Amino acid sequence: MSEPALRDVVIAGGGMVGASLAAALESTGLAVSLVEPSALEPGKGGQSGSGRDPDQRATALALSSRRFFEALDLWGAIAEGATPIRHIHVSERGRFSRVRLSAEDLELPALGHVVPNPMINAALAGRLETGANTELVADSARGELEQSKEWVALPLSSGQWLRTRLLVIADGARSRLREQLDIPVNQVDFGQHALVANVEVSRDLAGRAWERFTDSGPMALLPLGGRRANLVLCLRPEAASRWQTMKDHEFLAACHERFGAHLGAWRAVGKRQVFPLVQVRARALTSHRCVLAGNAAMSLHPVAGQGFNLALRGVADLAETLAAAAAAGQDPGGPGLLAAHAKRREADIEFTARWTRSLADAFTLGLPAAGLARSGALLMLDRVPVLRRWFARRATGMGPGLPALCRGVRPPFGDAGAS
């Protein structure tokens, strides 16, 4: 078989993260191939929990992610399906403690935007279909990777293979490619599944996101406009299967009972999907001419809605690093360049993983002491404006060392890009 042409970058996995990176690299002039087995079609989700049904999840996009999409001129398409979060209400079932955060506290028009995952995928697919520099490969990586001094060879299910100077591994939390590279992971199984569904209630959510902590795990409702909301219910695996197969009216009554009367009656529910909740953190972000991105690098408990937002900050840093290398005629898979990217990402990953993990532990451990501690924490957050503002600002993703794209700087990045 003849050797395939050498690509600058191959991205294995076209979920929201791989596709976002491909979109961010469009203007760099680098020759990019994106390998994804499920068709990247407008309207299709990426990974779905049960089989290949459209993804029922919605993502709460932080301000840093909105800025990323604005910089790539993709926000217009995404905003059509976006609902602004103007308030967040955090409470505990059976206790008086609660926190109320509002966009006004931060002098922002919104605390974030909720977008159904298929809308994000559709916007990305639309961009990539018309892109000049991205080759879409409808196939999957299969078989042993080969890492030579100058390139990496990626075999595909079809029997073809690709050769690239840099392989970006974005094939999800259970990444086979990461395993092949022998990159060890730290893994925490929360012993919970997230059940996700779109629901309708009888009162308008009016831009309010709800996070309610119950003895058996957190329950979140993200506003989708009017009375529609995206529900995320964290449950023990056996309870999740029971809730998934309940009749609609039983399910709605059980949700009402668990959530309380805040939003009136629960009227309708769409398809229910279940996602096992595991925190997986790769102990290294890079290997020779390879770099991990998205869930393959770090997957988080969804309680704080940070997984994709964190991943996009990594994508932005990588895109800027590669853009700067392309402009300087440097090798995109050079070890110094990849090491610098990994170093810059360390603090953000560490910080986000820690506070998400603490939140997940505090609200998934059923210990009485944990209950008292979290009530105290919630009361303190609610009463101390400085603390509340700090917490809300972290949740917007606008922390220190933010990559240029996440500040809304359009490519080419000039001196705003990574050096």
Q: Is 172 in the site for ligand FAD (CB under 6 A)?
A: yes
| Stretch touching ligand FAD by CB under 6 A, among 167-175, 179-187, 259-267, 279-287 | 167-175
Q: Is 60 in the site for ligand FAD (CB under 6 A)?
A: yes
Determine which residue in the list 17, 88, 378, 405 makes contact with ligand FAD, applying CB under 6 A: 17
Q: Is 397 in the site for ligand FAD (CB under 6 A)?
A: no
Report the candidate in 236, 224, 301 with the shortest Cα–Cα distance to residue 263: 224
Q: Is 140 in the site for ligand FAD (CB under 6 A)?
A: yes
Q: Is 8 in the site for ligand FAD (CB under 6 A)?
A: no
| Stretch touching ligand FAD by CB under 6 A, among 36-44, 322-330, 355-363, 367-375 | 36-44
CA distance 225 to 205: 7
Q: Is 38 in the site for ligand FAD (CB under 6 A)?
A: yes
Name which of 95 and 258 has its Cβ closer to ligand FAD.
258
Q: Is 314 in the site for ligand FAD (CB under 6 A)?
A: no
| Stretch touching ligand FAD by CB under 6 A, among 171-179, 206-214, 385-393, 411-419 | 171-179
Report the candidate in 234, 245, 338 with the shortest Cα–Cα distance to residue 278: 234
| Stretch touching ligand FAD by CB under 6 A, among 284-292, 298-306, 322-330, 333-341 | 298-306
Residue 342 CB, shortest distance to ligand FAD, in Å, is 17
Q: Is 231 in the site for ligand FAD (CB under 6 A)?
A: no
Residue 310 CB, shortest distance to ligand FAD, in Å, is 7
Total residues in contact with ligand FAD, by rule CB under 6 A = 35
Residue 65 CB, shortest distance to ligand FAD, in Å, is 7
| Stretch touching ligand FAD by CB under 6 A, among 103-111, 170-178, 247-255, 384-392 | 170-178
Q: Is 180 in the site for ligand FAD (CB under 6 A)?
A: no
Q: Is 411 in the site for ligand FAD (CB under 6 A)?
A: no
Name which of 98 and 176 has its Cβ closer to ligand FAD.
176
| Stretch touching ligand FAD by CB under 6 A, among 11-19, 75-83, 102-110, 323-331 | 11-19
The residues that touch ligand FAD, with contacts defined as CB under 6 A, are 12-18, 35-38, 46-47, 57, 59-60, 140-141, 170-172, 176, 194, 196, 232, 275, 294-295, 302, 305-309, 311
